[in-house]
Chains A and B, each alone.
Chain A
Amino acid sequence: MTFLPKPKLHHPELPTNAIGLTRRDYEGAISTLCAGCGHDSISAAIIRACFELALPPHRIAKLSGIGCSSKTPTYFLGQAHGFNSVHGRMPSVLTGANLANRDLIYLGVSGDGDSASIGLGQFAHALRRGVNMVYVVENNGVYGLTKGQFSATSDRGSKSKKGAVNADTAIDLAGLALELGASFVARSFSGDREQLVSLLKAALLHPGAAIIDCISPCVAFNNHAGSTKSYDYVRHHNEAVNRIEIITGREPIAVDYAPGTTVAVTQHDGTVLRLRKLAADYDIEDRAAAIGFLEGRRREGEIATGLLYVDPDAQDLHAHLGTIETPLNALDETALCPGADALAAINAALR
Chain B
Amino acid sequence: MPQPLASVNDFVVKFANVNGSGSASANRLFARAIQRMGIPATPRNIFPSNIQGLPTWYEVRVSEAGHLGARGGVDLMVAMNPQTWDQDVAAIDAGGYLFYDSTRPIPRARLREDITLLGLPLTEICNREYADPRERQLFKNILYVGALAALLDLEIPVVEALLAEQFKGKEKLIAANLHALHLGRDQARAHLPCPIGLRLRRSDGVGDRIFIDGNSAAALGAVYGGATVAAWYPITPSTSVAEAFERYCRRTRIDPATGKNRFAIVQAEDELAAIGMVIGAAWNGARAFTATSGPGISLMQEFLGLAYFAEIPAVIFDVQRGGPSTGMPTRTQQADVLLCAYASHGDTKHVLLFPQDPAESFAFGATAFDLAERLQTPVFVMLDLDIGMNERLCTPFAWDPARRYDRGKVMGFDELESGRDFGRYLDLDEDGIPWRTYPGAHPTRGAFFTRGSSKDRYARYTEAGAAYADNMQRLTLKFETARGLVPHPVRHDAPEGSRIGVLYYGSTSPAMDEAAELLAARGTAVDCLRIRAFPFHDDVAAFIREHETVFVVEQNRDAQLRSLLLIEAEIDPARLKRVLHYDGTPITARFIAEAIAENLALSRIAPLRKATP
Contact = CB atoms under 8 A, between A and B. Distances in A.
B379 interface: no
B509 interface: no
A263 B105 CA distance: 82
Nearest to A78: B447
A77 to B, nearest CB: 9
B453 interface: yes
A100 B405 contact: no
Given A81-B448, A323-B260, A96 B277 contact: yes
A343 B365 CA distance: 15
Contact of B440 (A81, A121, A124): A81
B591 interface: no
B215 to A, nearest CB: 14
Contacts of A59: 440
A350 B449 CA distance: 47
Given A321-B265, A336-B262, A339-B399, A101 B286 contact: yes
B78 to A, nearest CB: 26
Contact of B286 (A58, A94, A99, A129): A99
B220 to A, nearest CB: 7
Interface stretch (A159-167, A251-259, A290-298, A326-334): A326-334
A329 B401 contact: no
Given A340-B399, A343-B224, A97 B283 contact: yes
B441 interface: yes
Interface string B192-233: 000000000000000011111000000010011010110100
Interface in A95-121: 95-101, 103-104, 121
B397 A346 contact: yes
Interface of A: 56-59, 61, 63, 73-74, 78-86, 89, 91-101, 103-104, 121-122, 124-125, 129, 317-318, 321-325, 328-329, 331-333, 335-340, 342-343, 346-347, 350-351
A89 B303 contact: yes
B66 interface: no
Contacts of A56: 443
A96 B228 contact: no
B414 interface: no
CB-CB nearest 3 A-B residue pairs? A96-B280, A92-B276, A96-B277
B303 A86 contact: yes
Contact of B452 (A73, A84, A129, A322): A84
Given A61-B439, A350-B211, A350-B212, A96 B231 contact: yes
Contacts of A93: 276-277, 279-280, 283
Contacts of A99: 228-229, 264, 266, 277, 280-281, 286, 288
A145 to B, nearest CB: 12
B272 interface: yes
B451 to A, nearest CB: 4
B439 A80 contact: yes
Nearest to A104: B440
A331 B260 CA distance: 13
A82 B286 CA distance: 17
A170 B584 CA distance: 47
A247 to B, nearest CB: 23
Given A85-B452, A89-B303, A99-B277, A350 B210 contact: yes
Interface stretch (B4-12, B68-76, B250-258): B250-258
Given A83-B450, A84-B453, A103-B440, A94 B224 contact: no
Contact of B306 (A85, A103, A323, A337): A85
B277 A336 contact: no
Contacts of B258: 324-325
